[in-house]
Amino acid sequence: MTSNSDKPASSQKPTFTPEQIEALYFDTARQGEIELLTEFIRAGMDINHQNHEGHTALILASYHNHTQAVQLLLDHGADPNILDNKGATALTGVAFKGYIPIAELLIKAGADVNAENNLKRTALMFAILFGRKDMIKLLLQSGANPHHEDGEGTTPIKLAESQGDIELIQLLKQQN
């Protein structure tokens, strides 16, 4: 009588717990590993599955600046408007990081440029806080509201005024 441990290692199939599979899926997105991410999609992984922080593969790939992974996920139906546990979308993360190509992909896929996080802050507000002028221009061109008030009554214009950026203040005030 032989046991499974007597079989050569090459004939034993590894088994993974659902938690391990989930962790690998999210690590794959975080690292932008296209081939493995494609295999997860082919195997039927829920493209919009959220981890314990509410992150999706799209949020993680976007935040870590993996344009090809973002495109792959969007092509397979990833929802750019899913909120994480803090109310942030994929666009929120790229707005403060300044990842223009990814922001363009997300917006083209229907990302809400005026989505609010749990503090009612928008991607535009984060772009202003982190001085991402090209991102600010893209968001404004895409319909971001420069008059939106967060939970503290602050607007994008007020944020720009607090930073003393005259050019940015004028840009924001030119918007309807």
Which CATH architecture describes the domain 16-173? Alpha Horseshoe (1.25)
Q: What is the pLDDT of residue 108?
A: 98
If phi > 0 it is left, if psi is from -120 to 50 it is alpha, else beta; for residue 122 that is: beta
Tally Cβ neighbours within 10 Å of residue 142.
19
pLDDT, average across residues 36-53: 96
Res. 18 pLDDT band, cuts 50 70 90: confident
Range 139-152 average pLDDT = 96
So what's the pLDDT on residue 155? 95
| DSSP character at residue 10 | G
Domain spans of the chain, in order of start: 16-173
Sign of CA dihedral 136, 139, 143, 148: negative
In this prediction, residue 7 carries a pLDDT of 52
Residue 35 or residue 2, greater confidence: 35
Looking at residue 2, its pLDDT comes to: 46
Could you tell me the pLDDT band of residue 1, with boundaries at 50, 70 and 90? very low
Instruction: Supply the pLDDT for residue 69.
Output: 98
Does the structure show a pLDDT above 60 at 45? yes
The residue assigned the tokens 């659902």 is: 18
Instruction: Classify residue 14 by its DSSP letter.
Output: P
Q: What is the reported pLDDT for 3?
A: 47
How many C-beta neighbours within 10 Å does residue 92 have? 28
Residue in the block written with tokens 């991402």? 132
pLDDT of residue 9: 53
- For every residue of 100-121, DSSP letters joined together read HHHHHHHHHTT--TT---TTS-
CA distances from 151 to 113, 116, 118, 120, 132 (A): 17, 10, 9, 5, 22
Q: What pTM was estimated for this model as a whole?
A: 0.89
pLDDT digits (tens, 9 = 90+) for 87-145: 999 999 999 999 999 999 999 999 999 999 999 999 999 999 999 999 999 999 999 99
Q: What is the pLDDT of residues 132-142, one digit of tens each?
A: 999 999 999 99
